[in-house]
Chains A and B, each alone.
Chain A
Amino acid sequence: MIELQALTKRFGPFTAVDDLSLSVGRGEVLGFLGPNGAGKSTTMKMITGFLPPTSGRIQVCGHDVGTHPREAQAALGYLPEGAPLYPDMTPAALLRFCGEARGLRGQALRSAVDRAIERTELQGVTAQRIETLSKGFKRRVGLAQAILHDPEVLVLDEPTDGLDPNQKAQVRALIREMSGDKVIVLSTHILEEVEAVCSRATVMAEGRLRFDGTPAELRQRSRFFRSIELHLEGSPEGAQAALAGLEGVESVEPLEGSAGRSAFRVFPRDKRALLPEVTALAHARGWSTEHVFVDPGRLDDVFRVLTRDGAREERPGTTFEQMSSEAPAQEEATR
């Protein structure tokens, strides 16, 4: 329901979004990740018809945003970055205004406003001027405005920024709950949020897509994925060499152990599961195992690898060898 075709946005000589093509279908919750300045917000501004693209096409629910912006905008709800709102209005008045602008009248308008207030838990502040609300409440008013008309497409630019942990959980639950029959595109700097709510994760950097896949696939890109952290009592002779000698082990790194203990991180070759081999070895050698931990992969580490300079666009299916020649060996290991 959202189609981006070769979307490019330049500000003077600077290219903010570079030849971006993407298609998001009903039921998908797509997360945009990427460092500051990656072009996430710029892309969203173009999808919602605020900024005209320099070149390329956008369709929302079959409406071309360039030629039929009103139809496209009617089908979508948008939370702009920073949730800009009229400071001298109350949430109730603002929501009524947005509802009227979207063609809602009378009873339909009232019930839409009430429902949005309820879903974003704004009941206590509906009659308070927006400028006197706390940051998190402002964000929730922005969110209420976006979901007001139960749109088919939701574009949310950092929806949980500034929310307390309870509200973050509430908003994530709301997004999950709405996701069934909608298209939701959101951006976030909270990597775990993508796993919590998104069915699809994309990583942008320098205006280009660096990754497009499931959140699980994203995590599996980590060099730590399925690596095993092993904490042993005492310092058994030759432990590191023994671990390194195991079938399927790529390398072993000694870790900082606490007093009287030793610790290792065992990296598997080809990201295979090594736990049986490692525990069997520990058993056979009679090591007293304090703690074993299989690393599920670290998103921040994948994020860093994908977005730093020199990394190139990469989708599932393309191999790491194509991606970066100067990356350390462990990062180059293919899934």
Chain B
Amino acid sequence: MNGTLVVFRREFAAYFSTPLAYVFLAFFLVLTGLYQWAFMGFYQADQASLQALFSGLPWLFLALIPALGMRLWSEERRSGTMELLLTLPISVPQAVLGKFLAAWAFVGVALLLLTSEWATVAYLGDPDHGVILAGFVGAFLMAGSYLAFAALISALTKNQVLAFVVTLVMLLVNLTIGFPGVADWLGGVLPAFLHQTIKDTSFLVRFDAISRGVLDLRDILFFLSSVALCLFANAAVVDLRKGA
């Protein structure tokens, strides 16, 4: 068992040692149920799918993932436990990866709970299981990208609220520029290459593609490389600003 796994296990267990984790999961389930019910009208034509669920997830994650990620490093810095963690024979990249994976796995648990809806639609109708599976894979990947970004911002400050707000605002910008109406309007005013870049780096555009059932390797690689990039920067920030 190496350092990453040791950190992963501690962090993952830590989620379930406080009631906060259960509150988070309950919140997640209630909110997904709520907005699906509210938006049902848009998708009435095609009830045997989870399209309503997946179309809302990018926005739900926008609020929930920064809340989950804000404490990852800022709390370590504020309470001084970073000194305990980083003077154990564990490297900074191992600690960064272990923490991230634990948080990601926690989101995985939340998504696993959502598969109950999958069972429901399968019972009620005849959904395209491939599309739904792609939707869950895409949601997990997107959550990972959000989280890695949240972890990076969290490493920059000991103030959790600040980490939350900055993460939320930046993610909101990313989501907004990928939002169909905004994206089309931007397409009219921006040079083509810029517009393309925005579309290529938009979590929303990538996720929409996957959740329509198209598991394109490029989209998967996009999410994974954005995770890698953020974690790499995260490790560098932790390393450089340990004592600050």
Contact = CB atoms under 8 A, between A and B. Distances in A.
B113 interface: no
Nearest to A129: B17
Contact of B87 (A11, A78, A100): A78
B81 interface: yes
Interface in B25-74: none
21 contacts: A11-B243, A45-B83, A48-B87, A49-B87, A50-B83, A70-B90, A73-B88, A73-B89, A78-B87, A80-B84, A84-B81, A84-B83, A87-B79, A88-B18, A97-B10, A100-B1, A100-B9, A101-B3, A101-B88, A103-B89, A105-B1
Interface residues of B, number: 24
A101 B2 CA distance: 8
Given A97-B6, A105-B1, A89 B17 contact: yes
Interface in A124-169: 145
B158 to A, nearest CB: 13
Contact of B80 (A73, A84, A89, A93): A84
A249 to B, nearest CB: 53
6 nearest CB pairs, A to B: A84-B80, A101-B88, A74-B89, A73-B89, A80-B83, A48-B87
B196 interface: no
B115 interface: no
A102 interface: yes
Interface string A45-86: 100111100000000000000000111011000101010111
B86 interface: yes
Given A69-B91, A100-B1, A100-B9, 5 more contacts: A51-B243, A70-B90, A84-B83, A86-B14, A105-B1
A102 B89 contact: yes
B85 to A, nearest CB: 8
Contacts of A93: 13
Nearest to B90: A101
B6 A101 contact: yes
Interface in A1-22: 11
B223 to A, nearest CB: 30
A78 B18 CA distance: 28
Contact of A50 (B1, B10, B242): B242
Q: Which among A51, A97, A102, A105 has the highest number of chain B CB atoms within 10 Å?
A: A97
A77 to B, nearest CB: 9
B17 A88 contact: yes
Contacts of B3: 101
Interface in B183-225: none
Contacts of B7: 101
A104 to B, nearest CB: 10
B88 A98 contact: yes
Interface in B80-130: 80-84, 86-91
A226 to B, nearest CB: 44
A87 B76 CA distance: 11
A286 B184 CA distance: 111
Nearest to B84: A84
A117 to B, nearest CB: 18
A45 B1 contact: no
Contacts of A74: 89
Nearest to B92: A69
Contacts of A86: 10, 14, 81, 84
B18 A45 contact: no
Given A84-B79, A97-B6, A100-B6, A73 B87 contact: yes
Nearest to A76: B87
A34 B79 CA distance: 25
Q: Which among B7, B18, B86 has the highest number of chain A CB atoms within 10 Å?
A: B86
Contacts of A50: 83, 86-87, 242-243
Contacts of A51: 242-243
Nearest to A145: B84
B49 to A, nearest CB: 40
A145 B87 CA distance: 12
A101 B8 CA distance: 11
Nearest to B243: A51
A66 to B, nearest CB: 13
A98 B3 CA distance: 10
Interface in A209-237: none
B87 A88 contact: no
B89 A85 contact: no
Contacts of A78: 87
A102 B1 CA distance: 10
A50 B81 CA distance: 12
A70 B2 CA distance: 12
